[in-house]
């Protein structure tokens, strides 16, 4: 397990990306899978900054990665506001462009991009998001 | 992320290199707004060297697409979108909002 | 010499690869005539991979230029002309009959 | 001296080019100079086919190349009609395009592209065109 902490600001996103992309490559994921992890983590970090902390510069983004055979686990934690992911409905897709509201695809993307995703609020540790990406059989 | 702009007779080409995320999307938004505010609504986004686009980036492009398509005065089209980026776009049903070309010349020639 | 044609909304691109001499110019002439006869007078000649043009080749382009410029209905423009080729063109004062672009996209965008 | 003969047809032009371009490169000419030789020879061969023979397939194009220090000499000969190059006026340049007649730049180009050019009609040898291209000092 490797862990790194980043200031909860948008300009940390590229650094978080580097950190998880390196781990995803080390885990032997294909380039599509690496991109999936990179995007899911970016969306998750934005949500932490925007919703858990309510803006930039309010708290840390803690990121851990665990590689074990054929899978990568990414754990993101924050000390901001908690929420219940089950209360968030899937976005409406295929809406005519004029009617689109610019929000609400991050969580959906994370679910589609990763194989497992779990959100917990743990006393003293804060909100802990655990996401798993498995290496595809034939890669 | 680096952006460069080229104004042609009938369209503007915006070349976007690097990452489009919450940190850099505002700069892209600003560039796109400057074009739209100049009354130019035919925009080619050259993504040949764009290696990452988060949902924040897509929303930026979609807001511009809305403005451009209004009154049928124009359109935003994309060039050379990486397969990974494209599949994430399709995942959220946004692929249908953009024409995608494999060749910059063909995209420019479409206007 | 190989020729390929691409028809865009506002212009036609003729890609000419190899040698244009008295042996091959008729094939180029035929291709150009087919475009003009289709009522299309905006033509981009992509010479990126053209390595030789004799005076016979230039006359072919000039005849097409005359037809295209008539009634101001169009123009033949050239892209990426080798310096050697260009200097021979200038030597006989023919350089002034053609706009030359360094970039195919810019040439197509000029129409 | 190397000599080669080609059928007096347009599809020989690429082969004549290959032959003289190789010699021009061997003579150490720069790429601009090589192109100048290639173009002058192409124009000369077309004139032989068109004017000396009056068409394709009527006679041979004989081509010799001589390399000596710092210069290339190309000799083209034919057995067709002779002419007097001095009787041919220079073309009018900078004519508006609508008034251009598609002819008359070949000889002019040959003179501009080469350093020396000589045309002789020699009994039993026919018409002999000798053209010299010198290597530029600083190449
Ligand atoms: N980490 C988080 N902390 C608190 N609330 C969150 C978090 N992530 C998502 N949410 C809530 O879920 C909603 C949907 O999130 P998401 O699908 O990423 O879209 P968006 O961020 O564009 O609203 C958010 O508007 C927010 O209310
Ligand atoms: N090798 C040749 N043999 C006979 N006549 C020639 C020859 N080369 C040139 N001429 C004459 O000189 C004229 C000018 O030649 P040139 O400048 O090459 O232009 P073009 O071949 O287009 O007429 C020709 O029209 C022809 O009358």
pLDDT tens for D33-57 read 999 999 999 999 999 999 999 999 9
Domain ranges of chain A: 2-134
Rounded Cα gap, residues D99 and A115, in angstroms: 73
Cβ–Cβ below 8 Å for A35 and B59: no
C36, C68 contact by CB (below 8 A): yes
Q: Please state which architecture CATH assigns to domain D2-134.
A: 2-Layer Sandwich (3.30)
d(CA B52, CA B81): 10
Average pLDDT value over all residues in chain D: 95
Residue-level pLDDT at A138: 60
Interface contact A31-B22, CB threshold 8 A: no
The per-residue pLDDT for range D56-92, each reduced to its tens digit, is 999 999 999 999 988 999 999 999 999 999 999 999 8
D and C touch per CB criterion (3+ pairs under 8 A): yes
**The total number of residues written for chain D in this structure:** 139
Strand B50-53 with B12-20, pairing:
parallel
What integer is the mean pLDDT of B73-91? 97
- Residue C67 Cα, ligand 2 centroid: separation in angstroms? 26
Say if residues B53 and B87 touch (Cβ distance below 8 Å): no
Residue B26: per-residue pLDDT: 98
Domain for residue B83, yes or no? Answer: yes
Q: How far is the CA of D76 from the centre of ligand 2 (A)?
A: 15
Residues of B in contact with C104 (CB under 8 A): 105
Distance C22 CA to ligand 1 centre (A): 70
D9: left (phi over 0), alpha (psi -120 to 50) or beta: beta
In terms of CA atoms, which chain B residue is nearest residue A113?
Answer: B88
Would you call C11 and B110 a contact, using CB atoms and an 8 Å cutoff?
Answer: no
Ligand nearest to the CA of residue D110, numbered in listed order: 2
Q: For residue A48, which of A131, A133, A113, A132 has the smallest C-alpha distance?
A: A131
A35 vs A136 pLDDT, higher one? A35
Q: Would strands B99-101 and A60-68 be described as parallel, antiparallel, or unpaired?
A: unpaired
Domain count, chain B: 1
Each residue's pLDDT tens digit, B23-63:
999 999 999 999 999 999 999 999 999 999 999 999 999 99
pLDDT digits (tens, 9 = 90+) for D83-123: 999 999 999 888 899 888 888 899 999 999 999 999 999 99
Q: Determine the distance separating the centroid of ligand 2 and the alpha carbon of D78, expressed in angstroms.
A: 14
Query: Which residue from D43, D94, D112 is facing C54, i.e. has the nearest CB?
Result: D43
Within-domain flag for C111: no
Q: Which two tokens stand for residue B80?
A: 């050379």
First-to-last CA distance in chain A? 23
Task: Kindly write down the DSSP assignment for every residue of D72-119, as one continuous string.
Answer: EEEEEEESS----GGGSPPPPPS--GGG--S---HHHHHHHHSSEEEE
pLDDT of residue D136: 87
B contacts of C13 (beta carbons < 8 Å): 105
Whether B110 has its CB under 8 Å from any CB of chain C: the answer is yes
Q: Is the pLDDT of residue C68 over 60?
A: yes
| Residue A101 CB less than 6 A away from ligand 1 | no
Quote the pLDDT of residue D117. 97
CA distance to partner chain A, nearest, from residue B56 (Å): 8
Nearest CA to ligand 2 atom 9: D47
Please name the residue of chain C whose CA is at the shortest distance from the CA of residue B104: C105
Element housing C52 (H / E): strand C50-53
Ligand 1 neighbour A77 (Cβ under 6 A): no
Contact between residue B95 and residue B81 where contact means Cβ atoms under 8 Å apart: no
Whether chain A has a CB inside 8 Å of the CB on B63: the answer is yes
How far CA A22 is from CA of A68, B84, D111, in Å, comes to: 14, 17, 65
User: Would you state the pLDDT for residue D93?
Assistant: 84
What is the distance between the alpha carbons of residues D48 and D25, in angstroms, rounded to a whole number? 25
Q: Which of B19, B69, B84 sits opposite A14 (nearest CB)?
A: B19
Query: In this prediction, does ipTM exceed 0.95?
Result: no
Nearest C-alpha of chain D: how many angstroms from C55? Answer: 7
Q: If you average pLDDT over residues C48-56, what whole number do you get? A: 98
Contact status of B71 with chain A (Cβ, < 8 Å): no
- Total Cβ atoms within 10 A of residue D102: 13
Q: What is the pLDDT of residue D94?
A: 83
In tens, the pLDDT along A6-64 reads 999 999 999 999 999 999 999 999 999 999 999 999 999 999 999 999 999 999 999 99
Mean pLDDT confidence for C47-51: 98
Span C89-102, mean pLDDT? 95
CB atoms within 10 A of CB C55: 26
pLDDT given for residue A139 in this prediction: 46
- For residue C43, report the distance from its CA to the centre of ligand 2, in Å: 31
% pLDDT > 90, chain D: 86
For residue A102, what pLDDT is reported?
Answer: 83
pTM of the model: 0.88
| Mean per-residue pLDDT of chain B | 97
C108 near B CB under 8 A:
yes
Please tell me if residue B59 touches chain A, with a CB cutoff of 8 Å.
Answer: yes
Residue C97: give the domain boundaries: 2-106
What proportion of chain C, given as a percentage, has pLDDT over 90?
A: 100
* Residue at B111 is within a domain: no
Band (pLDDT 50/70/90 cuts) for residue D138 is: low
Task: Using CB atoms, pick whichever of A13, A102, A112 lies closest to residue B22.
Answer: A13
Smallest Cα distance from C104 to chain D, Å: 24
CB C19 within 8 A of CB C1: yes
Average pLDDT score, chain C: 97
> Mean of the pLDDT values across residues A107-131?
96
- The domain that holds B71 is classified in CATH as 3.30.750.24
């Amino acid at each position: 397990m490797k862990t790194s902490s980043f200031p909860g600001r948008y300009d940390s996103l590229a650094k978080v990306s580097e950190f998880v992309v390196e781990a995803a490559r080390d885990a032997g994921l294909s380039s599509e899978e690496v991109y999936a992890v990179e995007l899911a983590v970016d969306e998750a970090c934005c949500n932490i900054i925007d919703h858990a902390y309510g803006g930039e510069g309010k708290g840390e983004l803690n990121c851990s990665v665990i590689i074990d055979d054929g899978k990568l686990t990414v754990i993101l934690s924050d000390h901001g506001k908690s929420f219940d992911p089950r209360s968030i409905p899937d976005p409406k897709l295929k809406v005519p462009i004029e009617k689109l509201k610019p929000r609400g695809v991050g969580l959906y993307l994370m679910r589609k991009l990763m194989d497992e995703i779990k959100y917990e609020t743990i006393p003293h540790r804060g909100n802990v998001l655990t996401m798993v990406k498995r290496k595809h059989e034939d890669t | 992320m680096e952006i460069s702009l080229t104004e042609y007779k009938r369209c503007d080409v915006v070349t976007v290199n690097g990452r489009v995320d919450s940190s850099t999307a505002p700069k892209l938004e600003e560039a796109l707004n400057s074009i739209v505010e100049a009354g130019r609504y035919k925009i080619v986004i050259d993504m040949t060297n764009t290696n990452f686009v988060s949902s924040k980036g897509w929303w930026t492009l979609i807001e511009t697409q809305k403005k451009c398509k209004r009154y049928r005065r124009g359109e935003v089209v994309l060039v050379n979108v990486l397969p990974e980026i494209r599949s994430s776009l399709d995942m959220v049903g946004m692929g249908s909002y953009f024409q995608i070309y494999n060749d910059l010349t063909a995209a420019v020639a479409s206007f």
